[in-house]
Structure 1
């Protein structure tokens, strides 16, 4: 009835109405938008928003509503679309800082000006903002009035209020008239300062420090200022719709067979309520004081919680694992379980296993579970053992233990720091984090390609993947850590951390690595906090530079020294640490997304046993990737478990499975008897998995048994000319010759060489490396004579060419018209190929039979290639006929190149690859496409040749490939016919160049 009255009051319709002169089209910027199909006059109604009503108090809209459709009607009600409703047209009204729509009332959008045909209908989100959603995004409107960043508190801007006058929603108009925007300035400062993104300005971080450091106790109303950690948690919760702030403990009651005292539901409830009374932190409220703009921590008196205390104790039944997992998922991710303003920040959920349950006597059995859930503003990892110990003692005595130290607010501790000591610690962190902007983001090596652009848009759903080391390996690590001589915990922490550094280096080849970790520095330095529950954890950065040539022991010593130095300087808020780095604002989130933690699980109490995270499912994560090491001393034989907790928004399960398997492989290798940690360098370690090792062995087994014996190169070509006599063999722009024509010219030149110049088997014939059909004919003719082909690069210095061929006995030179003959020594027999091929006197049948007198074996040298030498003198690489023919046959055998392929000769003629391109094509019966000698680096020309000749195979270097893939120059259509690309060199293409083609994707 109450909702019906509101619908009548605000004239709320069930569905959104849209003017029929608005049409849905694809937006040139992103997604879709509404466009005018005919003119719309100023003041004309364009849309009346309908939808469902939600009350602010029950907060059901957080899980039921379509996020960006929710707008406030007044202080009590929201209107918006349900998630299961059809997407309405109001979803497609995009933002603009200079819009052509604005508000008439709570639900009506009207034209701000005359709107022309094809003009997009836009509105400034500031005119109907939802105050309860903390949101920052980049603006893409690109208008002259663009403010570059959108927040849902923009309505407080005086400039926008003057621009839109009273054309905000009725709700916002009332707030502006009442001066509400003036009272929210300090609150906005906190929200903007803590709602950081990589693109936000560094001034906001300085503003946060000013707000936090300027806390004056004289302005307090009820309690203490919240600590920096609490302030961060509170603001993170305001800007997130998902529960990443629940700290869950899963506990199993001990079986009555193992311990004579049973756990009863009544006794557990009584003990839990007693602990809430004992530990005042479990009754903390965080309240934003709008008068001074500060977040205050108020301890609620226990009497005030009488009405709510039993609502924090829940009993459920589960008969299957799926039901148990569903309950655990809700406890870990449901943000509505707690109320920070009321001080309801902890709860106990008893899950009874209803399978084969014989009685209903209120006794817990060993198959039941107890979930203790705490808001992170009051509980950290170091509080777990304190809570369980107190729970046991309180349960056994049925009364609260003596209060040794009440929680009085960490902010008081933070303000007691000595300024000189703080300055010294800041100098240490400034030195450690010097050049931190060069630290690579290792996670980009493994994340999904479609990952969110920034942390602010990432949904913090998480999962975990765990493994437990073999007892022998675990014992080796534990014993080795005990010899580090810094205590059991620190020794194991440093050994595992060093192993993880080495693993990340092996995985990414990056040597500059920064990991985050959590430590309870405040608790360690203050004896009063040893038995007090609270949020005392601090985030620390462990930056380390790997030296691959060092041994594990040498790396461990360096890590040990670094860890000890960090612990001596640990008592600083994380913000102070980041401020010591360069570009601190950009580093705030990035440096703390790859975490490492070590947790020691001691023997539990006789009544309650903690279930480690490695033994249960995890559904949320605050960080992108965390490696959590658990040293479980509660079991009969101590065990080491490693759990990778990761964001499912960024990582695939299959990727994390490989990462975990590789790390396990490294640990086994590192602490086995086959690896000498004192003498062997860490680069000798391998993270290959067994199946990958086998794959490498299979790949390296390259021997192929061909059905027929190998023949010399020219004989293979002769056979292809017989098989494909009328097929195009060589193409160069408008010129082309068939296999039969190519055979004729090859035999003609070979006859001339053997009869006129008396070329013999093993002679070296130099040929000018100039792209042309004649060059290809010359190569085959040289090989048909049994001679050795030696390419001459005319761009090389003359003296280098002379030194290269000093060891050759008989020297001949095949050259072309227009080449400077003074480049070559006079003792060379110079042959002008063009004159030979055009000499009609040689066109008789006699010469076709004489050259066959030369018998060429497959094992004699076919090619001599010059290469640079370390001594300064060129070196010669010799390749036989069998080498080149075997390679071509192998490519054919693996279907990389075949007789149906059109191969582009792209490589420079001074490189060995040009031989592979030419000979592979002609040995296998394909078509060779050549390029003009002067244009082979002109990308437009190369693209045109590829498209016009429908090339299917290219051998290319990454830099040239990237130039060809330039979409602005038509690169997207260049590779439509390509079947195979062979890439040599460092493959580092930009994402914009990764396009598909008719074969496999790059």
Structure 2
């Protein structure tokens, strides 16, 4: 929207709108798909509307639309003269990992379940919604599918013949914030299907509505391209071609495919471009899509380089428990060319201070669970402060971030040995080491972008970096445990099952403990979704 929503009694009835015909091949593909999958055009169109809202709202999965029902669901109502039309809320939840076929089936079942409630008056629905203090206002969005009649001669009453006048092409009154309507004329030889987008002038400018129309056509083309039908919904994009070119220019992307993805930051941002609305990180009830994660990573990166004069190659320590902040911090260090040095909160403060002094770190990132450990002894920055930051990232900001000199030979991170045989020793790992490791895992199909990888290792171990960086460079989902969550076996097993974990890496002793626990609880079936199990 271009403007904030105002109270109802101050709203005007004026609209801005667009109507355009679909390509005949697209129209036929749409109708053929509906017929082949035994789904009505209305249901398939509604599924597309949900997907469009899912994309426009940057991954909102709980969606609701107002739809009109003929309300003649019983045989004895079919021949009665009168207006029975009802406005009903059609609410559903999108699983971003589903394909169009899976989601269309879900929408079909939802439509069938709603029919039996179509007699319920709209006033009662609104009263119930208010009583339940629901935040879902379904009267903001509307979807409809209009089919022109093939035979007008059958419209007669008491020997009087009625002529059908074509409906007005565009509504003059804004009944909703915005509505999308499919108009289908089966008798037409060309332009048999068109799309009508009607928006409130109080909220939208004409240019915005035109762009929305272009985005919907792009989505339509992707959904009914035979090569894309089996893709997950998060793979779909509504970024227009000229916007993608501009984004690539701002991010300083090279057209040579062999030159892309040479650093951790390059590969991560490449995955953001490929599927921005795929879930990147999940921790209990918290989650971030790839696009949301990049936003916070860039916000933190800008804070670091603007306020602390950090340059490529500078060491930045991070003291963080398992959290979304840990991921944001580590990736922010990567995209500004810093050297990531993780510190474990389980270590005594004296050892932590010693490691910071040895690395001569310019800055230490902390968060809400660790921001009181060092007091004023070192320069620290609380990662959580950027969570509530509403600053917009400008083109100048993106240009600055994209022009930080980082090469594959830059040090990506350093990790210290335990020091059990003397003074802890620092091990340096370059960007090319990590990207080569990721490539080898991909070739072995040990990691795939469809995987959900559970993050087990503490930040003191090498696997910590592999779990985080490799997962996000390859485009998979990263499942986090809350601090000390790996010590709570019941909680751990619950996360493995509910988050559909497919990749697990752990030391043999821990795996043995898990197996013993599962045998005692008689729950050995809970690991059946695991695709890759690594230990050693």
TM-score by length of 1: 0.27
TM-score by length of 2: 0.50
